[in-house]
Amino acid sequence: MDIHGEHAKKLSKSLFDKGYRVKVDDRNESMGYKTRQIQKAKIPFMLVIGDREMENNTVSVRKYGEKKSFTWSEEEMLEKFSALDAVKEPTGIN
């Protein structure tokens, strides 16, 4: 496993420990192929860790159905995911 894969595994463990479903795609396929597969599967978020992201300690995040991706620090990403979870929590009001 290369250095990107190792970093991705650490991040996936951190996300998994917080209750998120995570899968690291470390197959030897092109980025375009992997992106198409993720879009077909309707995965809500795709996280990308490349050289630039590792250098800056960030994660590139792409939401399902959108072409634009965002670059967030790992802490910022966790905050935004937590905020999304808070919105999805049932309020008990029927």
Can you give the residue range of the structural domain that contains 9?
3-88
* Mean pLDDT along residues 73-86: 87
The predicted pLDDT at position 94 comes to 44
Helices (H), ranges, 18-73: 31-40, 51-56
Q: pLDDT tens, 9-38? A: 999 999 999 899 999 998 999 999 999 999
Residue 66 included in any domain: yes
pTM recorded for the entire structure: 0.80
Residue 40 included in any domain: yes
Q: pLDDT tens, 45-68? A: 999 999 999 999 999 999 999 989
CATH number of the structural domain spanning residue 20: 3.40.50.800
